[in-house]
Structure 1
Amino acid sequence: MKKKRQILISTLFSMMLVFTAMSLDQSNFDKSAPENKIISKIIPTATTAKAAVTPYHTPTADPIILLFIWLSSGYNLQPENQYTYVNNPKTLYTDSGRSVVDALLGLLSSPHYTWYQSTDGQTWTQMSQTTKELTVTPTKVGTVYYQQMTRWYGLIPGLLDTIVYSKVAFITTFPSPINATALSVKANDNYLYNNQSSAATTYVTGTPTPNNATGNITWKVSDTSLATVDSRTGLVTANTSSKSGTVRVTGTMSNSDGTSVSGYVDIKIGGGLDDQTVDEGKKATFAVQGKFDEKPTNVVWHKVDTAGKDTVVTNNNSDVLTYTTANTVYATDNGTKYYAVLTVTSGDSTTTVTTNKANLSVRKNVVPDVSVNNTIFNSSYEDHNSENTIINNVAENDKVIHRITVKDSNLNSALTRAEIQIKLPKTSVIDNVKVNNQNFTDYISVSDPDNNQGTILTLRNLNFVTTKDFAIEINSTVGKNETLSFDSTVSANGYDTSGNLLGQYLPAQNLKLNFADNSINLQANDWSYKTINSYTTDTLLDRDKIESSHLEVDDKRRNKQALTLYLSQKNPFKSDEKVLNSEMRYYQQDGSYEVLNENGTLVSETVNGQTLDSVAWQDHEGPKLFIGNSVHEAGNYTTQLEWSLIESIS
């Protein structure tokens, strides 16, 4: 039959509840003149033209271009849809080219341009303009469609001619200007070569918001020594003097009212390969940069050693445009160079492109890269945190295991020897030490000069020449301790071949032993209720929130008997001699409640072996204050609640 005994001080802790009562207080479009500028190319995300359009001729497919080598003929700059207003001129820009084969067959031919227009998207008429660019000045509102034919021929048209047709573009005319509020910019290619006989080019384009804005775009670059840009068309041309870097191309759309918006895109200028820097023992990867509509038919990689010897190297990568070295060696690889030769075959024509020679720098890093990790276990009594860095309820004669790993990740490290120090309770007896699963005896133990409750165990002469990774296990038996806890810190001192100290290396977390004292500590925290006026009646008040638990419990009992925790109220809320007409109600999770009194209300209970947890009530449970029906005098009302623990014994 179970008996109950009350812990010596049943009113272990009391808390102050504070309550305040106070008296009731009775108290349209821009109309400016159009500009005479010619607009650059704009790419709208949507069009206002709704009619189905039948081109004058089926547009030629986009050309296939390998870097700047044309494998097929076509347009690399299509005429783009434009928006304008009455009497404001607009220009359609185009650019086209021939394949290597077509160019060889028509060496003496030159391009001739023909424009076609349609007002309904069905019926087309040939225009009188024969220029590459087409500028029109609309005189009325509406949409007109345009298509260009480019034909290369010599003295005798029709003999080995090359003919390409552009895509259809429209110019839509509004009665008044439409201003842009933003501009997005992109480039067809974000990498241009700077080391070829022909200058590499690309086009930048702008998309305004709204997409039917009628303003004009102009272009500029941040560094003309890297690349230039046609201010009207957005044609970016890289330098051919092998100067590398990143150039910013900025587009600015000017509105008819004098305002403007800008956007930019960055384009990298280089010779195809970037220099690489790696630590010794690591691989280096070189990748040919640039846009490729089709991969080259052949790519050969070369290595040039520090003596200038050029050797073809075997590329084992599945991507022929990427080459990865073997693990680098400082003595033989630092300062070597790599380059690639790309072969492009189109029909009977073969062209080669050679990248720049990219430098390989190998860092010989001798700085130790040491990591230390430690954990602790009690094989006699399992009570630890999830990280295994704290063991609790440690008692005399418990078997404690320290596990420490020390690793130097730098293969070239100057660290050749290390000492491991660990602080242990002075009553601990070392049973054995293992290093990499082998018994280890080269250690000493001395008193800790900074802590009279501890000793310092030092493992000496760990040889980092033969291995870079050590797993250490220290087995000890704990004696009787006077303190409640002990911090068991670990450190590793690293030395070079001359005995110079290279550094002290610490783990991220220290270890802690919490010794059993068979105690339970409670700390009660105050809380309060909100202010009411003199005529507040029949009202249930919630507690104000607090940061911590309402009752903080530190249960250090190793043998945990069952407990019951009670909360009681012996005195009413008072302010001096004034008594508040109220009652403290303790609410359960199901919504039921009991009125607190001197007999106590059950708050929580445990079973044998269970830890008593801190008390932190949810908003809908715990003590709430009920204000009764009367006139309340102003004042600060307080009361005391008492917590009691009762332990069950058999």
Structure 2
Amino acid sequence: MNLIFIFKNLRFLILPILTLSLLFVVGEQPEIIQAASREDNNYYRKPSKRPISMGMGMGIGIWLSGGFNINPKPDYYITSGNELSIVTNSVRSTASFTENPFEPLTHTWYQRKEDDPSWSQVPNSNSSSLKVKTNQLGTTYYQLHDHYRGIFTSENYYSNVAAVHVTSRDVPAKSLTVNVDTNYIYNSTNTFNNDTAFANATPDPQNSTEEVTWSVSDPSLATIDSNGKITAVPGKEGSFFVKGTIINKDGTEASDTKLMNVGGGLFDQKVRAGQRVTFSIQGFDNATRDNDYNNIKVQWYKKSKDDKQTTALSTPTNPFEYTTDITSSKDDGEKYYAIIKLKNKELRTSYGLLTVLPALDSKVVLTDKQKNTSFKNETDTDNYLNNVVNGDIIEYTMNLNNNSNHNLLNTHLKTYLSLGTEINSITIDGKLTTDYESISNTNNSNKLIDIDVNELKMGAHHQVVINTLTRGIKKEMEFASTPSFTGTDSENNSYQGIGSKLHLKYITNQIIPHIKDIQFESIYSFENKGLKYRTSDTNSPNNVISIDDERRKKNPVKFYLNQPKPFLKDGKIPLAATLDFCRNGIIYPLTNKFLIADSNEDQTFQSINWNKDEGLLLQLNGTNSTAGKYQTTLSWNIEDTI
């Protein structure tokens, strides 16, 4: 008989005073606010044209003209008494910035009520974003004036007009769409000012009244503030998601994500020997070829794998992309970079590493299969094994065939195994071998098995069998690996054969309960009799115990509960109450272990929830208790009945 013991805390408060809340619900008709039309007289000054970016909004930071690259949304909806932010950002042309880099910038916001034709300045509003307090129902219009003022120059830009509609009723968002002004930001502060981006979100319906909160999936790569401004972490490279979330007043949620990249401007590239590959400076797309590059110079460089030689490369037709010559294995490890210059501004990209993979030869063939020799599952195939558990023997069979017109020397077979897997034996053509290497990667929870097969001559065949023992499975998970083998011919050209992807689904072969801490209603000073119920978060439809039943063979089980210790305050003062269990209106004490759920043969054990007046209840015994917090620990036992 297997026993599983789980201990969770129960807590509640006894309050010396009575707190009473009354809620009056009054029926009312829905309030509808329509956005006003954008007539010419509906702005303080005519909005400036959108600035032109050489990167077409792709983040390179080269602006051919100035203006607002981040404009306010046309309409904002919010309930009275809440606060919202109107976010903007303006830019100057790169040429203007180069000639006058220290021009001061002032922000001035203007506003107009819907029933008042005159505009007025918003007090204390010298910022690119505006916090709007919404105390009155109706619509107010806002527009921002950005003024770049130099000694000999003056640039004025006006944003689009934003209408803020204040309503008395909440409108929940059903869905959300997130967008960003660029999908790539640079990981260093440079003279092109391209280490930031902006995220925005559009809810459905568009008159949703809740604000968006922002987050990123990996704060080590980039951060995001409450206004949606994304800033790269210096020196970091990688991909991350920007997430916008709306939590409605009714508890429902709407969210969306957008994939972004951060780096130094170039991605590493992989290519098969005999092929070309293209490095592209991030922040530019094909449309930039139509722009005027007279003032921009791009020079590409190649650095040898030993870092001893740097070669200046000829400038291609599209200077923001460089395509290599036909590659071979000797090019593996070379690094490429570019330097972009605009007058006195300069940006040097990061290195883009070139990895040259062995050429694929259709006559160099690898076939593979796997088998669970410990358990037969009807859904298993040669390439997919289901419900693999600790202790299972998994056997991999790899067949290597050289049907080409060259001998392969220095042949190696490589495959990945789950990190905890143990190797029982490896044979080549039926003979045991120890000529292999196992390299663990804890970050990816796998290990690389590299087997030296030595030589594979023309027309030859080798069979490699890897016999393994499954270990280290602590949770349900999927694992996949694609075996491959490589060899070189007499001229040191590399060739590769790739097998089929092998999948395994691992399970723990256990019942895993997830038990919530349980809290009861507060007991007030005048109460000493009757029942106290659990708080709503542990009442149906919410589960008190969520069950993951990952057993391969589902025997009947029983789930027991008992209370080994009384409720205590400060670990010593007992509560004048008992914990009971109610089923079908009958109260049972928990002084001994009590059966709360069970299952039958071949039945998945279900999660457990109780209605408010069922399950665990607190029975006051007629004596007053002192104010404070009382808690106890329960014992939950799952027993296999076979």
Tell me the TM-score normalised to structure 1 length.
0.47
Q: State TM-score, norm by structure 2.
A: 0.47
